[in-house]
């Protein structure tokens, strides 16, 4: 920002954020979206989180049951983000109407018979340290899920969350945008280990990065990515030379037109040195994880955050004018269409532009 000398008023300058630059190029996608980390919802907690332009109220009962509901009490419309958990029930702050875990009204604040006015519950799925809520533009029930992945190491996961402009598809699309790993993230060389595999709501891609660093010389990083819908990525990262293993979950959530929240969860572990006795090897591995857990997580977040200014200001380019070296972006976009409305007039996407030979784009 700068100051106009004559009048002393603040003037605007610099790139305009995507959420104020114009109409969104993409509608909200259907599927599972992360609204919280599991550790944020201890028994008795009530949280309000945005999803696709509307509030969602999350709460956990005294025995640990997790629920997601529409935000307004069916009685007189009080916002349930101000409610309290009493045992297994959610109690409205206005007239103290209480609702059981199945959404049924079980009592009023005056001791009168409760009305037949249940809460509107939303499908909620807790897995891998994340809390996911299902949304479909046609109101369909979930027909796929985010699976349970392996957990590495012995230390608790580290988490971070941000809010910025941008759309969630481009976060997930980043995993096949091979070109940007060199230009934005500084990988000396990157190669995809074969065609990207698409299976209904899931895709899988493997790649190898070639790196070089002072005092360390050349080394490789092997990455395997599994994506589920347009709201969740799981990446297994292995640096064989140093024995470092890292599992990362990336979870973008559409909260408004061209605006998203972004959550990341990491766990690390180190291979046990084979040349040492088993007991000592385990101590060395766990000590390395304890000492390097924080700096590795910080480095992982910095790697991710390099994309933030791009997402925050960019527009969704459709069709893209692709070039050799980009990676298989076109096939990814054709797969991503399944998560949007199909009926013309409701935000249907045009067919992606296809570059010659793009379907077989495997770069080395």
Tell me the per-residue pLDDT of 119-161, one tens digit each, with 9 for 90 and over: 999 999 999 999 999 999 999 999 999 999 988 989 999 999 9
Q: pLDDT tens digit string along 179-229?
A: 999 899 988 888 898 899 999 999 999 999 888 777 677 889 999 999 999
Peptide bond into 111 cis (omega under 30): no
Res 360: pLDDT = 29
Res 194: pLDDT = 86
Average pLDDT over residues 306-328: 94
Q: Bridge partners of 72? A: 79
Res 230: pLDDT = 98
- The H or E element containing residue 164 is strand 158-165
Q: Give one word for 313, left, alpha or beta, with left for phi > 0 and alpha for psi -120 to 50.
A: alpha
Q: Which residue has the higher pLDDT, 46 or 191?
A: 46
With H, G, I as helix, E, B as strand and everything else as coil, classify residue 34. strand
Rg (CA), the chain: 23
The C-alpha atoms of residue 268 and residue 248 are separated, in whole angstroms, by 9
Q: Give one word for 332, left, alpha or beta, with left for phi > 0 and alpha for psi -120 to 50.
A: alpha
Q: Bridge partners of 86? A: 89
With H, G, I as helix, E, B as strand and everything else as coil, classify residue 237. strand
The C-alpha atoms of residue 336 and residue 351 are separated, in whole angstroms, by 11
Reply yes or no on whether the pLDDT at 3 is more than 60: no
C-alpha atoms less than 13 angstroms from C-alpha of 11 in its C-beta half-sphere: 9
């Amino acid at each position: 920002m700068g100051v106009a000398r004559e009048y002393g008023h603040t003037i605007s300058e610099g790139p305009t954020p995507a959420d104020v630059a114009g109409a969104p190029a993409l509608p909200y996608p259907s599927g599972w979206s992360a609204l919280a980390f599991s550790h944020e919802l201890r028994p008795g907690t009530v949280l309000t989180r945005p999803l696709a332009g509307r509030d969602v109220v999350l709460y956990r009962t005294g025995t640990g049951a997790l629920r997601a509901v529409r935000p307004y009490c069916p009685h007189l419309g009080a916002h349930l983000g101000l409610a309290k958990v009493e045992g297994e029930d959610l109690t409205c702050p206005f007239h103290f109407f209480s609702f059981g875990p199945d959404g049924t009204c079980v009592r009023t604040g005056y001791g009168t018979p409760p009305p037949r006015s249940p809460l509107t519950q939303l499908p909620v799925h807790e897995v891998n340290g994340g809390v996911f809520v299902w949304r479909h533009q046609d109101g369909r029930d979930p027909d796929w899920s985010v699976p349970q992945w392996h957990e590495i190491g012995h230390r608790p996961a580290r988490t971070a969350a941000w809010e910025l402009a941008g759309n969630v598809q481009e976060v997930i699309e980043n995993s096949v945008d091979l070109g940007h790993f060199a230009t934005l993230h500084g990988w000396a060389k990157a190669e995809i280990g074969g065609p990207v595999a698409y299976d209904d709501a899931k895709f899988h891609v493997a790649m190898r990065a070639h790196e070089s660093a002072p005092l360390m010389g050349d080394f490789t990083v092997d990455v395997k990515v599994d994506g589920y819908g347009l709201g969740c990525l799981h990446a297994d990262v292995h640096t064989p030379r140093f024995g470092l293993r890292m599992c990362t979950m990336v979870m973008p959530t559409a909260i408004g037109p061209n605006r998203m929240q972004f959550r990341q969860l990491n766990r690390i572990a180190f291979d046990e040195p084979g040349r040492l006795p088993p007991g000592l090897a385990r101590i060395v591995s766990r000590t390395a994880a304890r000492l390097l857990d924080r700096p590795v997580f910080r480095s992982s977040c910095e790697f991710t955050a390099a994309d933030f200014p791009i997402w925050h200001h960019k527009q969704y380019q459709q069709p893209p004018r692709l070039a050799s070296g980009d990676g298989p972006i076109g096939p990814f976009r054709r797969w991503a269409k399944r998560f949007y409305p199909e009926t013309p007039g409701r935000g249907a996407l045009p067919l992606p532009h296809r570059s010659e030979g793009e379907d077989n784009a495997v770069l080395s």
